[in-house]
């Protein structure tokens, strides 16, 4: 989706509903849209901060200014991609607040896994299990486990208003990128099904505008993923081939900067289909060069 016209509200405090404020970080990119949105939950003297964002001084200062003299009960991260959690540590230090939420990942610094997208500084004081809650005056946030985009991804439900903070699991501006090995398309689909069974009134994603018809969007996303799956099966039915050749056939008018991400999403689908016994590798040449066929 094209970027919205400037000016963007970078660094400003916006209030989509009485219990929720948000501050946009200065990190726009083809992956983050206009940037990461940090949310502040609570209208009184004790609040929670969701997805503090990148550890950039301007953004930290904007969050601190928005907080005023409110006490921060919890700094909560949906997952540990670098545009979401690195500000947790410096913010915790400046506000004397605990970091609570998603689990840390066991990352490979060297070797075949590419972990550069992950925040290696993330050290939570407490990890929330599915259904566990954090509370403050007038607010209750429930952790909803939604692995897929990353294996440690959580959404947070604001019980008082019916809002759901969806991190990168579901966004209005783009489909979520699922990058193996940590990203898992099978888990991602299950996590979409999980949201479809819920009755949230609005989604606040880390990137992009609030989503006011959440179930309709989730249904569309489930359909979109099935369509991608069918597309892969149709193309492999014509000819066994590799990911590099599949991407331009599947993604028309793709922003060239997103070719790598598209390839990883196709790979995530292929791994999921392989696990289900629907496709297999005809030749293993490594990464994007493997030749895939219908089983």
Taking the complex as a whole, the smallest distance from the CB of residue 149 to Zn ion amounts, in Å, to 6
Nearer to Zn ion, 8 or 31 (CB): 31
Sheet holding 37-41, edge to edge: 13-17, 20-24, 37-41, 46-50, 71-77, 99-101, 126-127
Kindly give, in sequence order, each residue whose CB lies less than 8 Å from that of residue 100, ignoring residues fewer than 6 positions away: 74, 75, 76, 124, 125, 126, 127, 128, 134
153 binds Zn ion (CB under 5 A): no
Among 168, 182, 184, 187, binds Zn ion (CB under 5 A): 168
Minimum distance, C-beta of residue 79 to Zn ion, in the bound complex (Å): 6
What minimum distance in Å lies between the beta carbon of 108 and Zn ion?
Answer: 18
The smaller minimum CB distance to Zn ion, of residues 194 and 273, is found at 194
**Cα–Cα distances in Å, from 248 out to 180, 225, 234?**
20, 17, 15
Choosing from 21, 22, 59, 81, the residue that interacts with Zn ion (CB under 5 A) is 81
CB nearer to Zn ion: give 67 or 205.
205
User: Least distance (Å) from Zn ion to the CB of residue 66?
Assistant: 23
Select from 9-17, 78-86, 179-187, 275-283 the region that touches Zn ion (CB under 5 A). Answer: 78-86
User: Does residue 82 belong to the site contacting Zn ion (CB under 5 A)?
Assistant: no
Bridge partners (DSSP) of residue 24 are 10, 37
Question: By CB under 5 A, how many residues form the interface with Zn ion?
Answer: 2
Identify which of 268, 188, 180, 256 has the alpha carbon closest to the alpha carbon of residue 222: 188
Kindly list the catalytic residues: 83
State the nearest-atom distance from the C-beta of 37 to Zn ion, in Å.
13
Q: Which residue is nearest to Zn ion (CB)?
A: 81
In this structure, are residues 38 and 59 in contact, taking their beta carbons and an 8 Å threshold? yes
CA 61, chain centre distance (Å) = 24
State which residue, 118 or 292, has the beta carbon closest to Zn ion.
118
H or E element, residue 13: strand 13-17
Taking the CB of residue 98, how many other CB atoms lie within 10 A of it?
17
Instruction: Provide the binding-site residues for Zn ion, judged by CB under 5 A.
Output: 81, 168
């Amino acid at each position: 989706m094209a970027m919205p016209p400037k000016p963007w509200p970078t660094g400003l405090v916006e209030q989509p509903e009485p219990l929720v404020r948000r501050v946009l970080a200065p990190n726009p990119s083809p992956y983050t849209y206009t940037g990461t949105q940090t949310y502040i939950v609570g209208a009184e003297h004790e609040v929670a901060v969701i997805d503090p964002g990148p550890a950039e001084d301007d953004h930290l200062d904007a969050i601190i200014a928005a907080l005023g003299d409110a006490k921060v009960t919890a700094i909560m991260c949906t997952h540990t991609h670098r545009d979401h959690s690195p500000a947790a540590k410096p913010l915790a230090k400046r506000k004397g607040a605990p970091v609570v939420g998603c689990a840390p990942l066991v990352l490979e610094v060297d070797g075949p896994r590419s972990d550069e997208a992950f925040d290696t500084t993330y050290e939570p004081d407490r990890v929330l299990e599915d259904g566990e809650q954090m509370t403050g005056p007038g607010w209750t946030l429930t952790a909803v486990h939604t692995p897929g985009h990353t294996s440690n991804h959580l959404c947070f439900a604001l019980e008082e208003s019916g809002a759901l903070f969806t991190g990168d699991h579901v966004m209005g501006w783009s489909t979520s990128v699922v990058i193996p090995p940590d990203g898992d398309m099978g888990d991602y689909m299950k996590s979409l099904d999980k949201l479809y069974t819920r009755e949230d009134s609005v989604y606040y994603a880390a990137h992009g505008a609030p989503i006011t018809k959440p179930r309709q969007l989730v249904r569309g996303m489930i359909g979109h993923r099935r369509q991608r799956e069918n597309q892969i099966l149709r193309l492999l039915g014509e000819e066994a081939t590799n990911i590099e050749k599949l991407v331009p056939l599947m993604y028309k008018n793709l922003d060239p900067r997103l070719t790598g991400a598209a390839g990883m999403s196709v790979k995530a689908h292929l791994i999921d289909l392989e696990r289900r016994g629907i496709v297999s590798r005809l030749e293993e040449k490594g990464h994007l060069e493997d030749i895939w066929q219908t089983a």
